[in-house]
């Protein structure tokens, strides 16, 4: 039985060093709400666990250029308690807050939710819709990448050996912009999203949509940024016809699977429903 090594470095450099030199499987531990379950069920058998929570900046939210730099291990509950983030990006905070129970909220991190690379991760569509980026540290230094580039497929990321996500940058929210995230689950809590839709849109003074991003989760191997859905909204006043076009565009983009959580037909249909409902909420927020 191979022993597992546990390390809790205090700097990004040390963490990169440990991950780079690891033999066998190395796993980054942030909130641990996915990793520990995967270890317990034998889906992951790491030889090295690098707990990044002792790195100071990784547990902090910093205001920056009108936006925020959110450490990769900031827990959901900490986000929900941050008034400025809640005000700027309510959709992202709600999406994060939907992940699991109060107990899970005490631990689960946005970095973990992103890097676990589940197609159904709740925070990811909201981050993608908001145009968030991730700071990746690695042996060659750091790089900024759009969050949608991190997951590469179910359980797979684009991160190279030795790399990990240090923080996520939420951009400054432009005037007249609102975001929202809605997901569907069979119960009211504790389920994995059957479908999730994140929408960020900007309205001008007349109420016409001038920009939009629509991201859909759990309907493809990775979160989809649906450009046709955005086009359906831009230039409209989000009237019934625009909403119907949005619904149709989102459904057209879906490539879901049948599984224990939902059918192809169900996911497809409900993605359109949620898109309409999320767009309405985002629009209300955009109007302030």
Partner 1 sequence: MSKYHVTTSINGEEVEFLCEAQQTLLDVLRDELELTGSKEGCSSGDCGACSVMVDDRLVCSCLVLATEAEGAKVETIEGMADGDQLHPLQQKFLEHAALQCGICTPGILIAAKALLEKHPDPSEEETRYWLAGNLCRCTGYDKIIRAVLDTAAEMRG
Partner 2 sequence: MDDAPHYKFVGTRPIRPDGVEKVTGRAAYGADMVLPGMLHGRVLRSPHAHARIKSIDTSAAEKLSGVKAVMTAADMPEIPNELAPAGEMMVNFREVSDNILARTKVLYDGHAVAAVAATSPSIAEAACKLIKVEYEVLPHVIDPVAAMADDAPVLHDHIFTEGLPEKPSKPSNVAKRIEIGTGDIEAGFKDADVVIEREFNTAAVHQGYIEPHACLANFTFDGQTTLFCSTQGHFVVRAICAKVLQMELSRLRVTASEIGGGFGGKTVVYLEPLSIVLSRKSGRPVKMVMSREDVFRASGPTSGANVWVKMGIKKDGTLVAGEAVLKYQAGAYPGSPVQPGCMCAFAPYDMANVKVVGYDVVTNRPKVAAYRAPGAPISEYAVESVVDELAKAVGIDPIDVRIKNAAKEGTRAAYGPKFGPIGYLDLLNKVKESEHYKAPLGKNQGRGIAAGFWFNIGGESCATININEDGTIGLVEGSPDIGGSRASMALMAAETLGVSTDRIKPIIADTASLGYTFLTGGSRTTFATGMAVTQAAQNAIQQLRERAAKIWDIPVEAVEWEDGFARPTSSNAGDFEPLSIGDIAAKAGKTGGPIVGRAEINAAGAAPGFGAHICDVEVDEETGRVTVTRYTAVQDVGKAIHPSYVEGQLQGGAAQGIGWALNEEYIYDKNGKLDNPGFLDYRMPVASDLPMIETILVECPNPNHPYGVRGVGETPIIPPMAAVANAVAAATGVRMTDLPMSPPKVLAALGNANGGGDD
Residue 5 binds what, of partner 2, partner 1, none (CB under 5 to 8 Å, by partner type)? partner 1
Integer Rg of the chain from CA = 19
Answer for which of 13, 81, 189, 284 binds partner 2 (CB under 8 A) is 189
Answer for which of 188, 205, 206, 240 binds partner 2 (CB under 8 A) is 188
Binders of partner 2 in range 35-94 (CB under 8 A): 41
Residues in Cβ contact with 45 at an 8 Å cutoff, skipping those fewer than 6 apart: 2, 25, 39
Distance CA 62, CA 266 (A): 40
Binders of partner 1 in range 151-190 (CB under 8 A): 188-190
Least CB distance from residue 192 to partner 2, whole Å?
A: 7
Answer for which of 26, 27, 32, 150 binds partner 1 (CB under 8 A) is 32
Interface region with partner 1, contact rule CB under 8 A, candidates 95-103, 239-247, 258-266, 275-283: 95-103
53 contributes a contact to partner 1 by CB under 8 A: yes
Answer for which of 17, 106, 154, 207 binds partner 1 (CB under 8 A) is 106
3-state secondary structure the chain: CCCCEEECCCCHHHHHHHHHHCCCCEEEECCCCCHHHHHHCCCCCCCEEEEHHHCHHHHCEEEECCEEEEECCCEHHHHHCCHHHHHHCHHHHHHHHCCCCHHHHCCCEHHHHHHCCCCCCCHHHHHHHHCCEEEEEECCEEEEEEHHHCEEECCEECCCCCCEEEEEEECCCCCCEEEEEEEECCCCCCCCCCEEEEEEEEECCCCCEEEEEEEEECCCCCCEECHHHHHHHCCCCCCHHHHHHHHHHHHHHCCCCCECCECHHHHHHHHHHHHHHHHHHHHHHHCC
231 contributes a contact to partner 2 by CB under 8 A: no
Least CB distance from residue 273 to partner 2, whole Å?
A: 4
187 contributes a contact to partner 2 by CB under 8 A: yes
Residue 186 binds what, of partner 1, partner 2, none (CB under 5 to 8 Å, by partner type)? partner 2
Interface region with partner 2, contact rule CB under 8 A, candidates 118-126, 140-148, 213-221, 264-272: 264-272
Interface region with partner 2, contact rule CB under 8 A, candidates 24-32, 151-159, 203-211, 261-269: 261-269
270 contributes a contact to partner 2 by CB under 8 A: yes
Answer for which of 84, 160, 175, 190 binds partner 2 (CB under 8 A) is 190
Distance between terminal CA atoms of the chain? 58
Interface region with partner 2, contact rule CB under 8 A, candidates 87-95, 107-115, 136-144, 258-266: 258-266
Answer for which of 9, 17, 39, 208 binds partner 1 (CB under 8 A) is 39
Least CB distance from residue 39 to partner 2, whole Å?
A: 11
């Amino acid at each position: 039985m191979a022993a597992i090594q546990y390390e809790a470095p205090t700097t990004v450099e040390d963490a990169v060093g440990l991950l780079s030199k690891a033999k066998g499987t190395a796993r980054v531990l942030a909130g641990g709400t996915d990793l520990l379950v995967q270890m317990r069920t034998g889906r992951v058998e790491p030889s090295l666990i690098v707990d990044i929570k002792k790195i100071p900046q990784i547990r902090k939210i910093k205001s920056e250029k009108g936006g925020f730099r959110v450490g990769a291990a900031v827990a959901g509950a900490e986000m929900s308690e941050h008034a400025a983030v809640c005000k700027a990006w309510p959709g992202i905070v709600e999406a994060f807050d939907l992940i699991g129970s109060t107990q899970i909220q005490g631990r689960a991190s946005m970095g973990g939710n992103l890097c676990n690379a589940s197609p159904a991760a709740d925070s990811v569509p909201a981050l993608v819709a908001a145009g968030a980026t991730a700071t990746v540290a690695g042996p060659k230094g750091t790089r900024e990448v759009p969050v949608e580039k991190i997951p590469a497929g179910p359980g797979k990321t684009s991160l190279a050996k030795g790399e990990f996500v240090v923080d996520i940058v939420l951009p400054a929210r432009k005037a007249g912009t609102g975001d929202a995230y809605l997901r569907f689950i069979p119960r009211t809590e504790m389920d994995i999203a059957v479908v999730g839709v994140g929408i960020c849109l900007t309205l001008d003074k007349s109420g016409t949509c001038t920009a939009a991003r629509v991201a859909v989760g759990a309907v493809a191997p990775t979160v989809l940024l649906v450009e046709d859905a955005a086009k359906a909204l831009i230039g409209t006043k989000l009237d019934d016809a625009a909403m119907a076009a949005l619904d149709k565009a989102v459904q057209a983009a879906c490539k879901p699977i049948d599984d224990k959580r939902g059918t192809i037909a169900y996911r497809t249909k409900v993605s359109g429903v949620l898109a309409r409902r999320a767009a309405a909420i985002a629009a209300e927020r955009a109007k302030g």
